[in-house]
Amino acid sequence: MKNHKVIVYSTPTCRYCVMAKDWFNKNGVTYEDKNVGIDHASATEMITKSGQMGVPVIDIDGNILVGFQPDVFKQLLA
């Protein structure tokens, strides 16, 4: 798998956030995790990118996804 820039905007209590990060870990995808529950700047960045306040918001090479979407993750990371 080539290098991709992946950012996961998440909170520790979000089960879909945990599922997404587990999926990336299992598939050897390096990602940056931004906890929007405690990091106001990251929360603002997430809302600006996605227009959403819910998590997870996932940025894969500039493609913004909302929610746990493993099929789309596979396509974007292929």
Q: Which residues neighbour 59 within 8 Å (Cβ) at sequence distance 6 or greater?
A: 5, 6, 7, 9, 49, 65
- Residue 3 confidence (pLDDT): 86
Task: Write down the domain spans for the chain.
Answer: 6-71
Residue owning tokens 């991709």: 4
Protein fold of 6-71: Glutaredoxin (3.40.30)
- Residue 1 confidence (pLDDT): 53
- Residue 28 confidence (pLDDT): 94
Q: Is the pLDDT of residue 16 over 70?
A: yes
